[in-house]
Structure 1
Amino acid sequence: MPRHDRRYAYGPYTDGPDPLAPPVDLRAALDAIGRDVMEGSSPRSALQELLRRGMDDPNRNPIRGLDDLTRQVWQRRSRLQRDNRLDGTLQEVRELLERALEAERTALANENSDDARFREMQLDALPSDTGGAVRELDSYDWRSAEGREAYQEIRDLLGREMLDQRFAGMKQAMQNVTPGDVEQIREMLDDLNSLLANHAQGQDTQEQFQQFMQKHGEFFPENPQNTDELVDLLAQRAAAAQRMLNSMSAEQRAELAELSQQAFGDPRLAQALAQLDAQLQGMRPGEDWTSPGRFRGDNPLGMGEATRAMEELGRLDALAEQLSQSYPGATLEDIDLDALEAQLGEQARVDARALAELERELRRQGLFERMPDGSLRLSPKALRRLGESALRDVVDRLGSRRGERETRRSGASGEPTGATRPWAFGDTEAWHVPRTLINAALRRAAGDTRRLDVTDVEIVETEQRSRAAVALCVDTSWSMVQDGRWVPMKRTALALHQLISTRFRGDALKLITFGRHARDVELGELIGLDGAYEQGTNLHHALLLAGQHLRRNPDAQPVVLVVTDGEPTAHLEPDGYAAFDYPPSPQTLAATVAEVDRLTGLRASFTFFRLGDDPRLARFVDSVARRCGGKVVAPTLDGLGAEVVADYLRVRK
């Protein structure tokens, strides 16, 4: 065909996931997991919570979580039960019986004979229940052709409904049933019961199965390949039929049991089906044969339709269990995507597949580590990614602030060397006032009348320090959890750790938590730390540990950063006991201030980040900062990380 005559048709991609769909946003997923972990959840619980909640990804359609999908499943289940009821066959039989009796009575009323009056008495004496009346009319000699036809329709209806319960599509295939059709069905049931009996005894039934399918395969459009597949198929429907009966009242069950003997006018059909049900229940006891369902709607369902409704309930229950992920060893791979799409539509399948892909990628990329006890924790790779996110947020907040540029000057923030040098643009070191004044006096003596010129200024040379030893002391008392400061504190530690580990690798960072006691912690331990009810803010102990860290790094610039929302209420006794008092005792305050003085002797740079508006805390940190030449910052919770990082950079420069 010439190239210009070619025609192309375009349509949706249907063979698996959309190859052009944007990838799952692992960074956003990890941020969500990290927030939950920092709030006290375990990594496993945080992952499960993310899968339950779903993701609102700005780069693609929102991914509905398992909770949303489960809610839709339960809504569909509730709607199925709310809109339907199970007595459709009984109602139709009653209507047919009433029509048959009315036609017969009309025909008898037109006859003026003793036989007609006798027949009228027979009809008046029929049992009040539908099943008993249909049974009594089995041998009745109908005078009305319409009545006889309606009664025969009852028999055919019962036969079709009973077969439709067990065999798909049988009701439509048996619309115009003949005695030959009934005999063929009865023969199929006899052969089926024989096949299942031999299989239950452990015999090799493959050849018998093939012969059965060659003879009766038209009754099984599902095309099972062996006896076990046939048993599975039949047992699922038989169990649903039994659950349907369990959902009916005792009177309705008794009525159906009696009516079943009239199916196609041959009680052997009901007997063969009862034998089949008994064999299937024995071979597949694991099927749900007992659970009832409550149907309370206005739409009557026939026996076959009611059985299919029970099957659908079973599928919905299975989906709900798969989506709940509450059983041991559950994974999203367990979800039957075909069944989910059949019940909730294509988008539900897309969402479930995206969640499974997300879970798979989070595990594949090594963002979780399995501990010896079987629990999960965030891996160093995951912590780095969380740190990148936290630091990115901090940088965004710092972007609107006045920056501090890097300089090539010597001695930034180091100890004075005794030497001075002329000031240059960009220098922020302290002026050397005597040298500056001498330079101005010499210039005036030479005839320059200006009192002070920029060329007169000399600044203090300081030692160059290429490293910093940073002790970040964070308050982990209960008030930090109670007042919503727990997660901002952890994100601050993440951001500072990420900055130091990537930009200032030579610096030594020590994370120290302090409640009733203080202790050194690794980043992963701090991120996963649970908030516990603990009285005491032992800043004294935290400063002791900070001093150990600074002394182990004598060649580094000492930096102490303290994040707290309460004044010291505990101190460490010589025997290791943490003494607690509120309001703070003089001994606690004295011990804390003494340790500040010791660190001041090490030339440590102090910054106190005061959270909250406690006036007692404000007075304490202000007085201590004046004592040690430190700084007090009162950030908002959203700005805590930015303030800590900015202060570190200021001191670091």
Structure 2
Amino acid sequence: MSGNRFRYGAWRDGPDPLAPPYDVRAAVDEVGERVLGGESLRDALRNLIRQGPRDGRGLDDLRARARRLRREALRRGNLDGAVTRAQQLLDQALAAERDELRGRDDPDARFQEAVLDNLPRSTSRAVEELSGYGWASEEARGLYQQILDGLRREVVEQRFAGMRDALRGRDPAGDARVAEMVGDLNELLGKHARGEDTDDAFQRFMEKHGDFFPEKPANVEELIDSLARRAAAAERLMRSLSPQQREELSRLMDQALGDGPLRDQLARLTDNLQALRPNLNWGRGERMRGNEDLGYGDATAALGEIGELDELLDQLGQEHPGATLDDVDVEAVERQLGRGAADDVRRLRELERELRRQGWVTRDDDGLTLSPKALRRLGHTALSRVFDDLSSKRRGSHDLRDAGAAGDLIGSSRRWQFGDEQPLDVVRTIGNAVRRRAGSGAGTLPVRLEPEDFEVAETERRASAVVALCVDLSYSMFADGRWGPMKQTALALSHLVATQFPQDSLQIVGFGRYAMPLSQGELAGIEPDMVQGTNLQHALKLAGRHLRRHPGAEPVVLVVTDGEPTAHLEEDGEAYFTWPTTPETVRLTVQEVDQLTRYGATLNLFMLGEDPGLRRFVDAVAKRSGGRVFSPDVAELGRYVVDDYVRSRRGKR
């Protein structure tokens, strides 16, 4: 900015803050498209969140970024840098000490040289033996002290971010203050573990020792979370080292912390935190490689980052039972992946909440599922697709938005909708236009008609139908790409009956090795089963029961299958399966066909595929029952089934 001049550019820090939220209806339609394309309902809902709606990123993208960052962290360096650094300082100290002793000509100098020559090769043991050594060189003494003071400072700073100033040099007062703080902290955590009220104790603790905690935790839980993650990173460092490296570092740390109360208090603190947060990765080691030797602080920081990324990968995976986006730690996402990623999670979380709040999805023990409201929309989408196909195949087809065009006028009318074929109610239509114009204050003439003015006369239906749609659920339907069209067909017919022919009664019967009635929701959510068997006999038996419950309606049975019957029910109710089919299976299936025929049902079969055995069977059934056989392309299945249903309901024969 110069003076009052401003420059504007594209927003570069995450999603556009002024962008509208996700379109919830579009998200529901996207799930519907996935289901109608053959995807299972659970997978479709899960993938909506994992892959993200069309206009946004999903959890899979965030997981990929988290995995990439984890790989980069693993290549950051070697974890034994603390031991390596101690070895380098010790070598420098010994070299400086030998130079000093070499210039002295007395027995004490020769004795000290002998002590140095016989030091253990282990760095930690050498440091331990030199704890009481009287250094001749001040430079060597300083280098040796750097080993202890530096490691001591790194160990304690790694646990408590605000301790840097309190740990400079060997200040007994500073050591005492740190030890007192850790003791008070252990006492506070002990009360919390016993279930005591710690609100007042926490406030007193922060008033006394708050300068050690620059992150300013708001309560005991936040304090524990922060400390436990740091402690877990320290434990993971030890688990990541080889046994020899672990022993070396452990001995060096003991030397650095000394024999005072601080070492015991830190060990007790680790035990308390591990008991309070057992779900953290306390014992998991990592194999890190890189060109840089990481000091204790850098190594634990890298492992802490890896641990947090592991938790994020777990949360973003949403694999555990009852998982929701509320489980994702958005602050951790922002720390590791940036503000844009955190905004993506917030938008996805808002989408999930809106889907539930607006009644599009419900949650059960297995996760999200579509609500009846969403299933109606899914059925409408399936029906629209079928009618789009119908209108493109033959002239005069429409959306079948009639209220009984084949019946008598009943004296009532309703608003016209696109696709209606009923006669216009002219009186009410003109009246609507006059009232609309008069209400606007523009007089009554001239009368100009608008689309919302039109009304159509309702008619009374003369006949109702009872329909059983039997759909093959065998695995071959899924393997050959017929699962999605089958679902679309059944959902379209279900929605058509519910909205345009409410006096009809439809039952969808799915059949594999066994048959079962399916609701609209069960049909949308059903997934393919690897169990073999095509039990059409059981399906026709259930269809017959449905027809007999509605004796006054026109009976219609529609069968969609891609294979000849290979299973039937035994007398004990168990399914018998064999391939190729047996005469007994065919006989029992034809027996059910005969019963439906005697009842007066129209039985039409929709054959998918060109299996010779299926062709022989359906031809024989059609000839026996007086029904028809259709061999549609799988993409035209819905058009054939819906069109046949409309043609079949012509009144009781």
Instruction: Please say if 1:95 is aligned against 2:88.
Output: yes
CA distance in 2, matches of 1:216, 1:315: 27
What is the match of residue 615 of structure 2?
A: 618
Pick from 276, 287, 292 the counterpart of residue 266 of structure 2: 276
Pick from 228, 251, 258 the counterpart of residue 267 of structure 1: 258
Gaps of 5+ in 1: 414-463
What is the match of residue 59 of structure 2?
A: 64
How far off is 1:333 after superposition? Answer: 0.6
CA distance in 2, matches of 1:129, 1:324: 45
| Pairs within 5 Å for 1:550-565 | 552=550, 554=552, 556=554, 559-565=556-562
Q: Deviations over 1:234-284 (max 9, x none)?
A: 454334323323333343343334434554xx8356x41332331452366
1:285 is paired with a residue whose SS is helix
Of 325-334 and 224-233, deviating more is 224-233
What is the match of residue 185 of structure 1?
A: 174
2:20 is paired with a residue whose SS is coil
| Pairs within 5 Å for 1:640-651 | 640-650=637-647
1:520 to 1:107, Cα distance in 2 relative to 1, 3 A: closer
1:14 to 1:528, Cα distance in 2 relative to 1, 3 A: closer
What is the match of residue 77 of structure 1?
A: 70
What is the match of residue 498 of structure 2?
A: 501
Is the contact between residue 15 and residue 344 of structure 2 (CA under 8 Å) also seen in structure 1?
Answer: no
Instruction: Please say if 1:195 is aligned against 2:184.
Output: yes
1:513 to 1:249, Cα distance in 2 relative to 1, 3 A: closer
2:393 is paired with a residue whose SS is coil
1:577 to 1:554, Cα distance in 2 relative to 1, 3 A: farther
CA distance in 2, matches of 1:517, 1:61: 42
How far off is 1:633 after superposition? Answer: 1.9
CA distance in 2, matches of 1:513, 1:597: 21
What is the match of residue 308 of structure 1?
A: 301
CA distance in 2, matches of 1:337, 1:130: 44
What is the match of residue 428 of structure 1?
A: none
How far off is 1:534 after superposition? Answer: 5.7
Is the contact between residue 608 and residue 633 of structure 1 (CA under 8 Å) also seen in structure 2?
Answer: yes
How far off is 1:183 after superposition? Answer: 3.1
Instruction: Please say if 1:31 is aligned against 2:28.
Output: no
What is the match of residue 639 of structure 1?
A: 636
1:134 to 1:575, Cα distance in 2 relative to 1, 3 A: closer
TM-score by length of 2: 0.73
Counterpart amino acid of 1:101? Answer: L
Q: Deviations over 1:21-54 (max 9, x none)?
A: 4424332453267469x77x6x6x5477436742
| Pairs within 5 Å for 1:30-429 | 30-31=31-32, 34=35, 45-46=42-43, 49-50=46-47, 53-55=50-52, 57-58=53-54, 60-65=55-60, 69-70=62-63, 72-111=65-104, 114-168=107-161, 170=163, 173=165, 177-178=168-169, 182-196=171-185, 199=188, 217-224=210-217, 233-260=226-253, 262-263=255-256, 267=258, 271-279=261-269, 281-282=271-272, 285-288=275-278, 290-298=282-290, 299-327=292-320, 329-368=322-361, 378-405=370-397
Q: Deviations over 1:522-570 (max 9, x none)?
A: 43444455656364543597289459738946465x5443322234567
How far off is 1:634 after superposition? Answer: 0.9
Bigger-Rg structure (1/2): 1
How far off is 1:87 after superposition? Answer: 1.6
How far off is 1:8 after superposition? Answer: 8.3
Counterpart amino acid of 1:380? Answer: P
CA distance in 2, matches of 1:321, 1:489: 36
CA distance in 2, matches of 1:113, 1:516: 100
Of 243-252 and 479-488, deviating more is 479-488
CA distance in 2, matches of 1:210, 1:559: 76
CA distance in 2, matches of 1:380, 1:211: 54
What is the match of residue 433 of structure 2?
A: none
Is the contact between residue 330 and residue 345 of structure 2 (CA under 8 Å) also seen in structure 1?
Answer: yes
CA distance in 1, matches of 2:497, 2:559: 17
Counterpart amino acid of 1:610? Answer: M
Of 15-24 and 184-193, deviating more is 15-24
Q: Size of the alignment, in residue pairs?
A: 579
How far off is 1:381 after superposition? Answer: 1.9
Counterpart amino acid of 1:335? Answer: V
1:76 to 1:540, Cα distance in 2 relative to 1, 3 A: closer
Is the contact between residue 519 and residue 545 of structure 1 (CA under 8 Å) also seen in structure 2?
Answer: no
Counterpart amino acid of 1:336? Answer: D
CA RMSD of aligned residues (A): 4.6
